[in-house]
Amino acid sequence: MTQTTPTVLSLISEGRPLIDVRAPVEFAQGALPGAVNLPLMVDEERRQVGIAYKKHGQAAAIELGERLVSGEIKQARIAAWQAYLAEHPDALIYCFRGGLRSQIAQRWLAEAGISRPRLEGGWKTMRQALCGRIDAAALQPMLVIAGLTGCAKTTLINQLDNGVDLEAYAHHKGSAFGRRPEEPATQINFEHALAKRLIGLPEGLVIEDESRHIGHANIPLNFWRGLQQAPRIRIEMPLDWRLAQIQQDYIIDLEQAYTARYGSDQGWQLMQAQLSNALIRLGKRLGNARLQRLQRLQTLAFKAHAQGNPQAHEAWLAPLLTEYYDPLYRYHLDKQRDTAPPEIHVGDWDSCLAAARQWNR
């Protein structure tokens, strides 16, 4: 029993539970949205079977696999599937190509009295469909939200029903200071999360102005080209307003995220290391003298923060904006002025939100 490919995108958009029986190393490189990894073979077992396949062919590989995954090990794998299906009885099974591994899992479950479908074509067909959705979206109308660092572009995007938050799918905010406590998304997982969001958005898309590289992920080329041709709305807000946004994003929210994940003591230390290392990564562009000055201000801010004054970070955030990020943004804006797409609105945050909503009507 298989699930036919025309329903692939609807399965993803509905959040259908999926059992990925590939090895953990495959799952870590990129999974399907909604999938849990309950492998038929663990990494070492898969490695040994792969060697047998290359040296002696499929029959020998299957025989070795049956020996490796037998007895108590086999029963433990089946029990894991049964437990998940007890909680998610509508889950589907898949492997890489919808072939041998998912068929074996399906057969073993059937022998245990559970009948579940598998995905025809497996992970590969699903991925092709998801990547195809991204390429199709590159042809949809797009609107780009631009503006200096701290203009709350992401917040505006998330106010819109048709907003596409690329930073969320990358698990990374779009600057050197944007690393989060959670693992950054792999390229595959970034693309799959983006595609899932796009499935339900057949009309115009509103997207933040980003470089092609976000964290560890790159925006797919066709989609990126569509963004480069899209009209823009540019937010303009005063420095004190932007500093408040930066303070919230990169200090308060970041501290909360780290402490929630690692506890107060370790979280505080890791948050300091993240901000310190981010400043160091900008060292070549900042120049040695400016870097050292900002590092001194940052160190003083950490001490004040530890004593209950997180507002002290403005001492290094303000010059970082005015001396580095703002001139860099304006340089790129001037450089692209003759070839850049039209700006259909320039104004404060509220007026840009209203203009973005009006554009989609």
Known catalytic residues are 95
- How is the chain split among helix, strand and coil, in percent rounded to 5? 60, 10, 30
Classify 134 as helix, strand or coil: helix
- Are 3 and 119 within 8 A, CB to CB? yes
**Cα distances (Å, whole numbers) of residue 47 to 25, 41, 74, 302, 304:** 10, 9, 17, 48, 53
Three-state secondary-structure class, residue 229? coil
Nearest to 80 by CA among 114, 103, 48, 50: 114
Q: Which two tokens stand for residue 352?
A: 């840009």
Structural contact between residues 205 and 143, judged by C-beta atoms closer than 8 angstroms: yes
How many helices (DSSP H) and strands (DSSP E) are in the chain?
19, 12
d(CA 338, CA 245): 31
Task: Give the H or E element holding residue 145.
Answer: strand 142-147
**CB 142 within 8 Å of CB 112:** no
Rounded distance between C-alpha atoms, residue 324 and residue 306, angstroms: 27
Q: How far apart are CA 160 and CA 154, in angstroms?
A: 10
Question: Cβ(130)–Cβ(12) under 8 Å?
Answer: yes
Decide: helix, strand or coil at residue 14.
coil
Alpha-carbon distance of 31 to 320, in angstroms, equals 38
Which residue pairs from 95-100 have beta carbons closer than 8 angstroms and sit at least 24 positions apart in sequence?
95/20, 95/21, 95/22, 95/40, 95/122, 95/123, 96/22, 96/26, 96/122, 96/123, 96/124, 97/121, 97/122, 97/123, 97/124, 97/125, 98/2, 98/122, 98/124, 98/125, 100/62
